[in-house]
């Protein structure tokens, strides 16, 4: 039996091109954003589709993407979590 595991070697912000590290993207990489769109089709015998995505660092999300989304009429919702 073979076991396969997908390993991500690095993540780079698609806006500022800064590579992930725990110091600038949050402890253990827990602060990152991925925006994606998926479209596809399903039939009885087959399925397929396409995904478009971008990886965005926390600073670009808050300083670039968030304000742009607000300017387009989106409302960013803030939700706390944790203990």
Spatial separation of the C-alpha atoms in residues 76 and 70, rounded to whole Å: 7
pLDDT tens track for 44-58 = 888 889 989 888 888
Spatial separation of the C-alpha atoms in residues 56 and 52, rounded to whole Å: 14
Taking the complete model, does pTM exceed 0.85, yes or no?
no
Count CB atoms within 10 A of the CB of residue 25. 20
Give me the residue spans of the domains in the chain: 22-71
The residue length of the chain stands at 83
Spatial separation of the C-alpha atoms in residues 20 and 17, rounded to whole Å: 9
pLDDT tens track for 6-38 = 766 678 889 999 887 656 666 555 566 778 888
């Amino acid at each position: 039996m073979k076991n396969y595991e997908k390993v991500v070697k690095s993540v780079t912000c698609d806006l500022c091109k800064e590579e992930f590290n725990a110091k600038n993207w949050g402890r253990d990489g827990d602060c990152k954003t991925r925006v994606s769109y998926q479209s596809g089709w399903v039939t009885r015998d087959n399925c397929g589709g396409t995904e478009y995505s971008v990886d965005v660092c926390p600073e670009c999300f808050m300083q670039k993407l968030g304000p742009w989304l607000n300017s387009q009429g989106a409302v960013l919702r803030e939700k706390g979590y944790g203990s």
